[in-house]
Structure 1
């Protein structure tokens, strides 16, 4: 996933979040620190990619698992800069 600072000032950190809707489980993430509480997933910047100048972007990725064949797309991702 790509996180982009579309603002006019630099950011010192970022986070992205979404909700799984069919029992999916986050199993691994890279270029960010991921947590899952129930169905809610939050990924925060790693120590080396939090600073984003205006217009700059970074990426992170994750792997997940699901039991059964039902694997819908998670709810829309929301992002925040700090």
Structure 2
């Protein structure tokens, strides 16, 4: 007899984020790697809260903006497709007040929370 085929469960959805900062006195750069755990995406928007006193100076691999305590990055023309299991890397530069760079929080990909 032939065993039944193995089925792979569907992806759990959402995304996972790896955040890697490089800091110096009052400034930093940070790489954000976003892994898509849901259905394939054609056109993405990623948002997060950078922490109190953190200001966006500029970014790369996306269109960056800040409104209050929320930073938004939208895909660039060349990286809008994000397949299931795919990863996109974006980065940004900013300033912060205080002795240490606050940890960012509330990561979302197209409105779905990331872990």
Length-normalised TM-score, structure 2: 0.61
Identify which of structures 1 and 2 has the higher relative contact order when contacts are C-alpha pairs closer than 8 Å and 6+ apart: 1
SS in structure 1 at match of 2:59: strand
1:64 is aligned to 94
What residue number does 2:33 align with? 2
- Could you say which structure has the larger radius of gyration? 2
Q: Following TM superposition, by how much is the alpha carbon of 1:70 offset from its aligned partner in structure 2, in angstroms? A: 4.6
The ranges of structure 1 where at least 4 consecutive aligned residues each deviate by more than 3 angstroms after the TM superposition are none
Distance 1:3 1:70, change over 3 A: closer
Aligned residue number for residue 44 of structure 2: 14
Q: Distance in 2 between matches of 1:2 and 1:14?
A: 14
Q: Distance in 2 between matches of 1:37 and 1:16?
A: 14
Is 1:53 paired with 2:83? yes
Task: Note the C-alpha offset of 1:50.
Answer: 0.6
- Among 30, 46, 51, the alignment partner of 2:60 is 30
More strand by share: 2
RMSD: 1.8
What is the alpha-carbon distance in structure 1 between the residues aligned to residue 101 and residue 84 of structure 2?
Answer: 35
SS at match of 2:42: coil
